[in-house]
Structure 1
């Protein structure tokens, strides 16, 4: 795998509100936070740009609403913000895709001549997957560091319920098998970026 010298790491919604397991339920992949931190560190040390995405929920009762403690980034992300060694952007959004946020992520990437994005964050099957699909549709070379994401169980139509691992795998299969993104592990990305 090749990681471009100017590839952008897009860190999606790594916010304190996702620690509220009473609201979300159990999560998968307890190692995700360590992998996200490792990716940020590699990007910053190599001078590549990092995009931090924050979900400003408009849903009543959401722990991700502005003004709530849960809207803030997790401590390990907040500690890494502001280094600007390779460029940094904060995107605020209220929908699933980081490409529908403020400022305009697509315009920022294009202005910087960036054609490859690496995604990590929360939730695998929601904002990470939606951002990956849209990035693929916009023509970006999208890489998803699967073990640097996590999610929660989900109930769908007909009373169907999928557990955390099933939801995560379904997202990975859809993205990779559908040609929207290459789904890989953090170690592969780190080795290619160092």
Structure 2
């Protein structure tokens, strides 16, 4: 696998509010935060660009609502912001896709001459998947570091309930099998960056 010298790491919604499991329920992949941190370190060590995405929920009960501590980035992300040699961008959004946030991600990537993005963060089957799908639709080469994402159990229609790991795997199959993104491991990405 090749990771371009100017590939952007898109870090989606790694916010404190996602640690409130009483709100979200059971999650998968307890190693995700360590993997996200190692990717941030690899990007910063090589001077590659990083996009930090923050979800500013308009819902008053959401742990991600603005003005509430859960809206803040997790400590390990906050501590790394501004520490790399590469370009950085902060995007805020109120919907699932980082491409529909402010400022515009697509315009920034084009202005920087970036055609490859590596997407990580929370939640696998929500904002990570939506961002990856839109990136693929817009013509970017999208890589998803699957083990640097996680999600939560979810209930849908007809009383159907799916566990976090099952949802994450379904998301990975849809993205990879559907040609939206290449789904890989953190180790593969770090190896290609190094």
TM-score bracket relative to the smaller structure:
over 0.9
TM-score, structure 1 length as denominator? 0.99
TM-score, structure 2 length as denominator? 0.99
The number of equivalent residue pairs is 194
Q: Distance in 1 between matches of 2:69 and 2:112?
A: 33
By how many angstroms is 1:84 displaced? 4.2
Match of 1:183 in 2: 183
Match of 1:40 in 2: 40
Match of 1:99 in 2: 99
By how many angstroms is 1:60 displaced? 2.1
Match of 2:135 in 1: 135
**Runs of 4+ deviating beyond 6 Å:** none
Match of 1:156 in 2: 156
Match of 2:24 in 1: 24
Match of 1:165 in 2: 165
By how many angstroms is 1:82 displaced? 1.1
What SS class does the counterpart of residue 79 from structure 1 fall into? Answer: helix
**1:43-67 CA distance string (max 9 Å, x none):** 0000000000000001120000000
Q: Distance in 2 between matches of 1:85 and 1:167?
A: 36
Unaligned runs of 5+ in 2: none
Q: Distance in 2 between matches of 1:173 and 1:188?
A: 18
**1:120-177 CA distance string (max 9 Å, x none):** 0000000000000000000000000000000001111111000011110010000000
By how many angstroms is 1:93 displaced? 0.2
Q: Distance in 1 between matches of 2:170 and 2:157?
A: 16
Q: Distance in 1 between matches of 2:117 and 2:41?
A: 16
Match of 2:123 in 1: 123
Unaligned runs of 5+ in 1: none
Match of 1:112 in 2: 112
What SS class does the counterpart of residue 10 from structure 2 fall into? Answer: strand
Q: Distance in 1 between matches of 2:130 and 2:76?
A: 24
Q: Distance in 2 between matches of 1:101 and 1:72?
A: 17
What SS class does the counterpart of residue 126 from structure 2 fall into? Answer: helix
Match of 1:80 in 2: 80
**1:73-116 CA distance string (max 9 Å, x none):** 00000000012411000000000000000000000000000000
What SS class does the counterpart of residue 142 from structure 1 fall into? Answer: strand
Q: Indicate conservation of the 8 Å contact 2:25/2:153, yes or no.
A: yes
